[in-house]
Structure 1
């Protein structure tokens, strides 16, 4: 404890705090970029997976196989696969780009099931009514299904992104200068492990907690009027 107290003024110096802030922004940037890109591609994957007709059977099988395979591979393995593949194709690719691609591939698999569940939560009668109005499948999804599915999709999607902030620590294994990597550097400089990684843990909390609050806000904001009425207390005369 005396060692920790003695190191506190030196540890919380300007250069160290600037280093941690930079790595925290890198961690947040990787998570947001990878999850947003993955979320967009997940919509495409779900759309292709739900394509009707026998001619689309191979495409549906590929989409299902992608989700099932990547959901069962550890994220650290995905990182190394992307690292070796990208380096074989473009050796000059940055580690940040490699990390974002790995996060994106992983996010597609997990958010695709979230999106599919949200789309399938819309009553089939809504789709049949849209078909009766001669709306195309894309128009039906964009104008009818998706607006009603957002309340089901958004909360778990944000929860996934919040949880994934912690998983970005794994990209430090390939040399990305995110929070955990900087924590190892500071610890190797002689600072107490409790002091260093206690601060790193606090940084992860400060990054994820606002996103959790955003998810709660959007969940209430997107709640249907029926759901809002159910949540109110019954007033007695």
Structure 2
């Protein structure tokens, strides 16, 4: 097996193969970044809608709750297929990357909404009451009172989700998006051994995920020093 890998390695590291894998890695990064960034914004918006009080906001609150509960419980592959066939039925001729991006945004926003909600609920109720006593609106309360305290609770699970999300984007290969897993299948079909191809893709996934995990750990320590005192 090692002899075969040694024979294949020069051809596998050819210019076009390296460029192909690099472009696939950029696609994976782009999908992950879109899902995380837009998912965070949409997740925060969903949490704010759930915090609105009054009968007029009740329909929107229920829509937000149903959205979160639905997409948290539907597997990512099913969501991907639903988005793919929905665009097909609508007649919209969109690139596969856009279909995958919409899917990751739906999943990301649902999961991140729950993470953000848990962080908000970790802030003592007295803080909310004090902001209300000072005539703060909801947005000012969240911006000036809740978020500065909730970040320390939100960051660890959020970055854990980001790392898992990078790996979940591999399912986009099922509809033909040329990301890392799809690139591995193509190279394997070209005759390169599975051990060499998927071993290389494994290293690339690790190279993408590990710095993000370390960044999350670093930010957790910086923003929550009281829970990580050094001797």
TM-score range, shorter chain: over 0.9
**Which runs of structure 2 are paired with 1:53-132 in the superposition (5 Å)?**
53-89=54-90, 91-132=92-133
**How far apart, in 1, do the equivalents of 2:168 and 2:59 lie?**
33
**How far apart, in 2, do the equivalents of 1:150 and 1:13 lie?**
45
**How far apart, in 2, do the equivalents of 1:192 and 1:10 lie?**
12
Q: CA deviation at 1:185?
A: 0.6
**How far apart, in 1, do the equivalents of 2:55 and 2:77 lie?**
37
Q: CA deviation at 1:53?
A: 2.5
Answer yes or no: is 1:158 the counterpart of 2:159.
yes
Q: For residues 26-63 of structure 1, what are the alpha-carbon distances to aligned partners after superposition, in whole Å with 9 as ceiling and x for unaligned?
A: 10111011211011001010010121223333322221
**How far apart, in 2, do the equivalents of 1:205 and 1:174 lie?**
24
Q: Paired residue for 2:38?
A: 37
Q: Paired residue for 1:227?
A: 227
Count of residues in Structure 1 that have an aligned counterpart in Structure 2: 230
Q: Paired residue for 1:192?
A: 193
- What is the root-mean-square deviation of aligned Cα atoms in Å? 1.3
Unaligned segments of structure 1, at least 5 residues: none
Worse-superposed segment, 90-99 or 52-61: 52-61
Worse-superposed segment, 4-13 or 81-90: 81-90
Q: CA deviation at 1:90?
A: 5.0
SS in 1 for 2:177: coil
TM-score by length of 1: 0.93
